[in-house]
Amino acid sequence: MSNTPASRIHSSVLRSKIVSAEEAAALIPSGVNVGMSGFTGAGYPKAVPGALARRIMDANLAGQKFKIGVWTGASTAPELDGALAMVDGVNLRLPYQSDPRSRNKINAGEMEYLDIHLSHVAQFVWFGFLGKLDWAVVEVSGILEDGRLVPSSSIGNNKTWLDLADKIILEVNSWQSEKLEGMHDIYYGTALPPNRLPIPIVKPSDRIGVPYFDFPKDKIVAIVETNSPDRNSPFTPADDASRKIAGNILDFLAQEVKKGRLPEQLLPIQSGVGNIANAVLTGLNEGNFSNLTSYTEVIQDGMLDLMKSGKLTMASATAFSLSPDALDELYGNLDEYRKRIILRPQEI
């Protein structure tokens, strides 16, 4: 990338908060709950968790117990989950993870784990059901002159972490494309009952919020500059079983249209993550359906193919979950894709 990390921090006031990952990690005490960004390997902090793991390892060697609660949007990557699990630094993990080291700790009873629906996490935190959120460590792709934050490649629970945490550490990742700016839709209209109102979304293309995170800037205690890629697992080619499953689903959809129970352009698609889901999306791309839309959890490889062919007109999600080749395709043609992708908080 030609941009240096410093070029993404346009607020002179916040530029004074720049520190190393080690200095930022040294601020986090044992026993706190930390909300970290990240959703399926996209937009997670790349430097502070590793520095914190090294600090915890030093504490362990000195005979001191050091553990924190780790709350995220979903799974992250080895630099976060794996690093902290390896040094036995997590006392509670929620709401979802896929790291093998963490899994072993959970199954052995050495790490508490709360497996709850991903869309319920933000509400549970606002209600106080999960306890106090003390710290947030959130990756962003830039900071504007007025201090508003340009989100990264995932939204997840980041809005809630930034709103409710007492203290915030930001990672500004210059690897993330600057063209992500404007793709996000952060909704600040939620409220607790009895003041809650219906969320005014009736189609995937609706925008109901703003493109930036905004909150009291005095909560920011440190900013770390990074230039590191997201880490998502590549998809394997569809096998015969996946293709047969996809074929059955596509036949079902065609019959529903024929019977008049679905419109010709179908209803908004919600796609799971993985090889079977991508096989279905590939089938849709090769089939006769057009003018499709999607309101889903993540944007994955097959959805990019549908957009590229023109069959998918709009997709709303909370994160990207792309193979390395698909990520190159996205960032190489982001001017076009950003017209048809909206990233939202996961509870929305």
The Cα–Cα gap between 143 and 84 comes to 28
Contact 43, 76 (CB under 8 A): no
Contact 155, 186 (CB under 8 A): yes
The Cα–Cα gap between 252 and 256 comes to 6
- Beta partners for 136? 35, 168
| DSSP state, residue 238 | P
Q: Which of 95, 149, 151 is nearest to 123 (CA)?
A: 95
- The catalytic residues are 297
What totals of helices (H) and strands (E) does the chain contain, helices first?
12, 13
DSSP string of 15-43?
A: HTTB--HHHHHTTPPTT-EEEE--BTTBS
| DSSP state, residue 268 | P
The contacts of residue 63 (CB under 8 Å, 6+ apart) are: none
Contact 277, 271 (CB under 8 A): yes
Q: Is 316 helix (H, G, I), strand (E, B) or coil?
A: strand
Exposed e or buried b for every residue in 40-52, given b needs 16+ CB within 10 A?
A: bbbbbbbbbbbbb
